[in-house]
Structure 1
Amino acid sequence: MDSPTNSQQTVSDDEEIDYSVKPEFYDPELDDKDELWAHKKRKGRTSDAVLSCPACFTTLSLDCQRHEKYLTQYRAVFVVNCKVGRERMLQQSIPKTKRIKRQRDSEESEVNPAVGETFKQVLCQVCSTEVGVMDQEEVYHFFNVLPSES
């Protein structure tokens, strides 16, 4: 019978690992430490999710609220690793029927009413992926994120 050549010989990784020695970078208490850190950052507030960038998985918010109607959208005031795009302003237009109704309901008549709210683009600070928008009240609205349970 032919003997196997070097390329045909298989060596199990398990045979090369010494399990009697603890791994150098292993910390069995790391999950507990991470949980305490997150609770400290939230300052006692509860969050619906921890939001991450869909491209590079960078954490964007530890404290957010899920949208009531659109379940894949979130809003937050406290964010990390986000940058606001100054080069582009987004504007949400109000449908004509709502504008007419709003004018009828309003007792005050404005000379030059606003067309809609103005939003600024929000990007991941690490990879520049667009993850949402920021409104005029500086509330972040995330729609392109990965949520995980908090």
Structure 2
Amino acid sequence: MEEGDRKESPTNSQQTVSDDDEIDYTTKPEFYDPDLDDKDEQWVQKKRQQRGSDAVLSCPACFTTLCLQCQRHEKYLTQYRAVFTVNCKINDDKVLAEDTSRSRKRNRGGAGRSDGREAPSADNQTFKQVCCSVCSTEVGVIDEDEVYHFFNVLPSES
């Protein structure tokens, strides 16, 4: 390391450390609102229309709120369903199909199309991919009845 590359350090370290005696506590901070938590609580209750929720769902990548009112799946405890969401976008390009017929589940080999896609039938239910509108992380799917099914989310107490 050459002498010119060395960073200069302050000669008086007292100048770089703030002292509590210099802070004026008589003025309120510009960005502090002691009632903000109560205001946020009222806003959420208004959005929910006084109905309960099993959790508040957030994106696992950027922590953006995705849903304020949802219902937990009875069997799969990490999955949720909801009708009203925020900050979600539906990817119409990626459509998934689920075959719900009993005969198809028993005969896993057979009657599918050779290109890997399922032939549409009365027993198939289609889903569209749902992503976070902020970071585009896949967080779930939406069905034909416009019910969101979340499986890749962070739940928090509601």
**TM over 0.5, shorter chain:** yes
1:71, CA displacement in angstroms?
1.2
Indicate whether 1:29 and 2:35 are aligned.
Answer: yes
Q: What is the distance in 1 between the residues matched to 2:11 and 2:47? A: 53
Give the 3 Å change call, closer, same or farther, for CA 33–116 of structure 1 in structure 2.
same
Q: Deviations over 1:59-98 (max 9, x none)?
A: 1111100111111111000111111100011122448667
Q: 1:85 aligns with which of 87, 91, 94?
A: 91
Aligned length: 135
Indicate whether 1:39 and 2:42 are aligned.
Answer: no
Unaligned runs of 5+ residues in structure 2 are: 1-8, 107-119
> Which TM-score applies when normalising by structure 1?
0.78
Correspondence list, 1:58-77, <5 A: 58-77=64-83
Q: What is the distance in 1 between the residues matched to 2:86 and 2:128? A: 16
Give the 3 Å change call, closer, same or farther, for CA 113–92 of structure 1 in structure 2.
closer
Give the 3 Å change call, closer, same or farther, for CA 54–7 of structure 1 in structure 2.
farther
- Paired amino acid for 1:9: S
Select between 76-85 and 50-59 the one with higher mean Cα deviation. Answer: 50-59
Partner of 2:141: 133
Q: Sequence identity of aligned pairs in percent?
A: 64
Partner of 1:54: 60
Describe the SS at the equivalent of 2:152.
Answer: coil
Q: What is the distance in 1 between the residues matched to 2:98 and 2:147? A: 15
> Which TM-score applies when normalising by structure 2?
0.74
> How well do the aligned residues superpose, as a CA RMSD in angstroms?
2.4
Unaligned runs of 5+ residues in structure 1 are: 101-111
Q: What is the distance in 2 between the residues matched to 1:74 and 1:88? A: 21
Q: What is the distance in 2 between the residues matched to 1:31 and 1:87? A: 40
Give the 3 Å change call, closer, same or farther, for CA 89–34 of structure 1 in structure 2.
same
